Amino acid sequence: MNEVLRQLAARKSVRVYTDEPVTAEEKRAILQAAFDAPSAGCQQFYTILDITDPALKARLADLCDHQPFIASAPLVLVFLADCRRWNECYRAAGLTPREPGPGDLLLAVADACIAAQNAVTAAESLGIGSCYIGDVIEQCEDMRAALALPAAVVPAAMLVFGHPTDQQKARPKPARLPAEYIVCENTYAERTPAGHRAAFAARAREAGRPDFDYDAWMKAFSARKYESDFSREMSRSAAVYLRDFARWDG
């Protein structure tokens, strides 16, 4: 295993940071890696917000399902799927572009997340931990106000960075589901109830929990994640963002 593969395998989310700042040089390297990521037609369909204002960090911590560690993170970056900027470029050249559509949004979300993951990998190589905040999709109205988002600009990913505490370094990386459960050859294969059970049992064994109870775990996990208030809020909020792309004129 080469050094890159070793670091990708070792990287895990870090939510508790030491007081050590992320230097300007480190931030530049992290951002440069994001820019260096592949991008559809080299269009860089994202705008990155570098959140330096402590009051705004605190506001984001609140809007993102009340996670205080965001407020104290040394570096906070919001990756916006920006379906506005190129249309403004076209307008500056005297063109009248079509409205952005749902395909433009999906492409821009992909571009933004691909860039974000390069930032994560770059940070890891510098000994800087990171954590994605999926909740950035929530609270559309308040998020738009907090970040001054115009129409057709949608938060795709938020990342917080900082140097991991010793306790965070020692924390084991969560086990993944088996490869044969995630990968299908050629076409999509429905997995069976027995297949689901076997995959989660294998993951639990790898995590040192051989007494795993599938039914009980799924019930608790569903209540905590999928049927939770934050999850329903995420879809409500996303539906509002999507309305900008329904005006698409084909």
What region, left, alpha or beta, does residue 119 occupy, with left being phi > 0 and alpha being psi -120 to 50 degrees?
alpha
Segment contacting a copy of itself by CB under 8 A, of 16-24, 63-71, 118-126, 161-169? 118-126
Contacting residues for 52 by C-beta, under 8 A, at least 6 apart: none
Q: Return the residue of 2, 19, 166, 211 that touches a copy of itself, per CB under 8 A.
A: 2
Q: How far is CA 60 from the centre of its chain?
A: 14
DSSP 68: G
**Closest CA relative to residue 59, chosen from 182, 124, 156, 142:** 142
**Residue 204 in contact with a copy of itself, rule: CB under 8 A:** no
Q: Is 29 in the site for a copy of itself (CB under 8 A)?
A: yes
From 20, 142, 206, 227, residue interacting with a copy of itself (rule: CB under 8 A): 227
In the complex, least distance from residue 62 CB atom to a copy of itself, rounded to whole angstroms:
16
Nearest to 64 by CA among 139, 175, 126: 139
User: Which residues, numbered 76-105, are part of the site for a copy of itself (CB under 8 A)?
Assistant: 80, 85-86, 88-95, 97-98, 100-105
Q: How far is the CB of 68 from a copy of itself (least distance, A)?
A: 19
49 binds a copy of itself (CB under 8 A): yes
Question: Residues binding a copy of itself: what is the number (CB under 8 A)?
Answer: 123
Nearest-angstrom CA–CA distance, 97 and 73: 39
Nearest Cα to 202, choosing from 192, 212, 190?
212
In whole angstroms, how close is the CB of 231 to a copy of itself at the nearest point? Answer: 7
Cβ proximity to a copy of itself, 167 vs 177, nearer residue: 177
Which stretch of DSSP H or E encloses residue 124? helix 102-125
Out of 22, 37, 63, 75, name the contact with a copy of itself by CB under 8 A: 37
Which amino acid is it at 186?
A: N
CB of 165 to a copy of itself, least distance (A): 18
26 in contact with a copy of itself (CB under 8 A) = no
Residue whose C-alpha is closest to residue 130's, from 94, 93, 153, 157: 157
107 lines the binding site for a copy of itself (CB under 8 A): yes
Q: Which of residues 123-162 bind a copy of itself (CB under 8 A)?
A: 124-126, 130-132, 134, 137-138, 146-150, 153-154, 156-157
Tally of CA atoms within 13 A in the half-sphere of 171 that contains its CB: 15
By CB under 8 A, is residue 197 in contact with a copy of itself?
yes
